[in-house]
Structure 1
């Protein structure tokens, strides 16, 4: 675990925080995109929104990020509940296609997964890169416990999902709930590496 912490915190000294830009908010129009899901299916967000009552759009870090793996398992375990509450789930990762498809297949993720190593979608949704939050997270006992738990949840060593030359960065996860008209119902920007919109809020609200 110490090696992982050093990997994550080591970049802090060199990371440059992106210029602050206005976040997206509830009521804003969601930036639409067309892409290809990692398993080869064409994914058009406008079309998906017309077919679904709600879309939960999740922006993760890399597939080899243990706290993201923990969140992925939570989404996987509660996917049927989310579907029953009329949500489709789309998760975006920073990882390249080659590494991400192995992670998806190894863990049998049931939701839609998108590789965005260029960061185009992250920029569209104003997802934050914040070295200060990264540094604080690496000193937080709760986050460190989640890192350890996330590592144990991998089917293989987490480093097997790293691309050559890939390094950790200061990206902070974000979640968005979109309605069938393409509007943002909720925009949730994480306060730390393992902070996400509570799924119970979504599932419970539809019961």
Structure 2
């Protein structure tokens, strides 16, 4: 018997509506975002050095995104306790965007985000990013409170139509080059 396959979403499709609560207690409702765009990012688990480096980077770029009418919602497949300990308590610059704890991966499944064993092999090329995350920023590997094989993904949504404009299902565990494509779309209004 084959395992259930996850259906990946495509640009042009309607984005699934998100209604939930962020780790900080704020309500997250994707269809009433007061911005032209919504960037939704699915990360691995809270102690992942690659994800912490990506969250750090996104935190630094968040003001520029907001200035260009793009709001951000992120998901981490960990409990709120792990997110507080591994992200909010460790980052010098606390993320201002919504972080949602999704240990049961409800929203990951809704957006077609899943595991990939082959991504482990492709992640060898991004080990320098992992080392940079650990050595330069102190994001040491802590407990693994989620699937080790989950691959990050990101989606850019036009909030006027609720349509997905860009999708990126990662190919390794630190596939944040996709942010550049999204930033280009938002900053240069190429949509």
**Are the equivalent residues in 2 in contact too, given 1:66–1:147 (CA < 8 A)?**
yes
**Are the equivalent residues in 2 in contact too, given 1:18–1:128 (CA < 8 A)?**
no
1:118 equivalent to 2:104? Answer yes
**Are the equivalent residues in 2 in contact too, given 1:174–1:188 (CA < 8 A)?**
yes
How far apart are residue 86 of structure 1 and its match?
A: 1.2
Q: Bigger shift: 67-76 or 144-153? A: 144-153
How far apart are residue 200 of structure 1 and its match?
A: 3.3
**Are the equivalent residues in 2 in contact too, given 1:175–1:197 (CA < 8 A)?**
no
Aligned to 2:47: 64
Equivalent residue for 2:151, pick from 163, 166, 172: 172
1:185 equivalent to 2:165? Answer yes
Aligned to 1:44: 29
How far apart are residue 18 of structure 1 and its match?
A: 5.4
How far apart are residue 168 of structure 1 and its match?
A: 4.4
Distance 1:97 1:75 in 2: 19
Distance 1:85 1:28 in 2: 23
- For the aligned residue pairs, the C-alpha RMSD in angstroms reads 2.1
1:92-149, CA deviations, whole angstroms, 9 ceiling, x for partnerless residues? Answer: 0011011112334222112111000011000000002111222x035x2x32111111
Cα 1:44–1:170 change in 2 (3 A) is same
How far apart are residue 187 of structure 1 and its match?
A: 1.0
Cα 1:88–1:192 change in 2 (3 A) is same
Structure 1: tracts of 5 or more residues without a match? 1-16
Alignment of 1:155-170 (within 5 A): 155=138, 157-159=140-142, 162=143, 166=145, 168-170=147-149
How far apart are residue 198 of structure 1 and its match?
A: 3.3
Structure 2: tracts of 5 or more residues without a match? none
Distance 2:129 2:79 in 1: 24
How far apart are residue 64 of structure 1 and its match?
A: 0.6
Q: Aligned pairs, how many?
A: 182
Equivalent residue for 1:99, pick from 73, 82, 88: 82
